[in-house]
């Protein structure tokens, strides 16, 4: 899973970009200052940091200098967001960031840079809400759950059964007249609390092409009806 640290004000600008912010293969961390971004990176070893050129506690130059001079931290990609003036441009170049984006931010430009640096493709699979019971197994042990949304690449479900990131499950469920069976990896765990159902994000790891087509047809039909 890719880890991305995003400046708080940039995350607010991207709030409608759910195809990026809610990807099951990306974990987002929010930082209100560059100092906080640095602390998060030290703890999490992020794959990408999207930072502001200036925050009250630390400049972009200082953030990049600290990261690039530390063998354990320097592997991260960095995008700096700044005003578009000539002086700011020169500062961005000196930062040794991988890319910089001028403000006001063009979301498409920023996300294109992010996808390239993370080496991931933009998510094209449409995801829709759904409420369908499914049967699952983990290492031969059965459990049940309810789908909350689905796309041809993965799904979100809730269950009282305890699962963990990295678990591989077999899931089976029905969409209209099609019975879908697939292997899937747990990539996100949301709101784990004793006595309550937990939501899990999964990515399909082994699924028949006919099943993918059936899911795509179902999603398309439901999207039109909604």
* Spatial separation of the C-alpha atoms in residues 219 and 189, rounded to whole Å: 24
What's the confidence (pLDDT) of residue 21? 73
Q: CATH for 128-225?
A: 2.40.10.220
Total-model pTM: 0.57
What's the confidence (pLDDT) of residue 225? 59
High-pLDDT (> 90) share of the chain, % = 44
Phi, psi at 63, each rounded to 5°: -60, -50
* Spatial separation of the C-alpha atoms in residues 116 and 121, rounded to whole Å: 8
Tens digit of each residue's pLDDT (9 = 90 or more) over 107-118: 888 888 888 888
Up-side HSE of residue 122: CA atoms within 13 Å toward CB? 11
Residue, of 145 and 194, whose pLDDT is higher? 145
Decide if 207 contacts 173 (C-beta within 8 A).
Answer: no
Tens digit of each residue's pLDDT (9 = 90 or more) over 150-159: 888 888 899 9
119 band by pLDDT with thresholds 50, 70 and 90: confident
Computed over every residue of the chain, the mean pLDDT equals 86
For residue 12, CA distances in Å to 7, 27, 30, 34, 46 come to 9, 16, 10, 16, 20
Q: Is the pLDDT of residue 127 over 80?
A: no
What's the confidence (pLDDT) of residue 126? 65
Q: Is the pLDDT of residue 138 over 90?
A: yes
What's the confidence (pLDDT) of residue 193? 62
Tell me, which fold does domain 2-118 have in CATH?
Rossmann fold (3.40.50)
226 band by pLDDT with thresholds 50, 70 and 90: low
Domain ranges in the chain with CATH number 2.40.10.220: 128-225
68 band by pLDDT with thresholds 50, 70 and 90: very high
What's the confidence (pLDDT) of residue 96? 81
Weakest mean pLDDT among 65-74, 88-97, 181-190: 88-97
What's the confidence (pLDDT) of residue 37? 96
Strands 128-138 and 168-175: antiparallel
Domain ranges in the chain with CATH number 3.40.50.2300: 2-118
Average pLDDT on 147-170 reads 90
What's the confidence (pLDDT) of residue 6? 95
């Amino acid at each position: 899973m890719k880890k991305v640290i995003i400046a708080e004000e940039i995350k607010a600008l991207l709030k409608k970009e759910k195809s990026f912010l809610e990807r099951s293969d990306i974990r987002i961390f929010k930082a209100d200052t560059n100092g906080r971004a640095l602390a998060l990176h030290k703890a999490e070893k992020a794959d990408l940091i999207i930072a502001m050129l200036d925050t009250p506690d630390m400049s972009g130059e200082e953030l990049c200098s600290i990261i690039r001079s530390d063998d354990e931290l320097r592997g991260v990609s960095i995008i700096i967001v700044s005003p578009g003036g000539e002086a700011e441009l020169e500062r961005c170049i000196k930062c040794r960031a991988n890319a910089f984006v001028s403000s006001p931010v063009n979301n498409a430009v920023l996300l294109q840079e992010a996808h390239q640096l993370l080496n991931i493709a933009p998510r094209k699979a449409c995801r829709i809400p759904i409420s369908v019971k499914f049967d699952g197994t983990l290492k031969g042990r059965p459990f049940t759950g309810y789908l909350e949304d689905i796309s041809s690449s993965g799904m979100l479900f809730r269950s009282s059964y305890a699962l963990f990131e990295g678990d591989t499950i077999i899931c089976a469920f029905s969409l209209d007249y099609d019975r879908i069976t697939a292997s899937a990896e747990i990539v996100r765990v949301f709101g784990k609390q004793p006595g309550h159902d937990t939501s899990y994000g999964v990515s399909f790891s082994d699924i028949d092409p006919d099943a993918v087509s059936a899911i795509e047809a179902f999603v398309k039909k439901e999207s039109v009806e909604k």
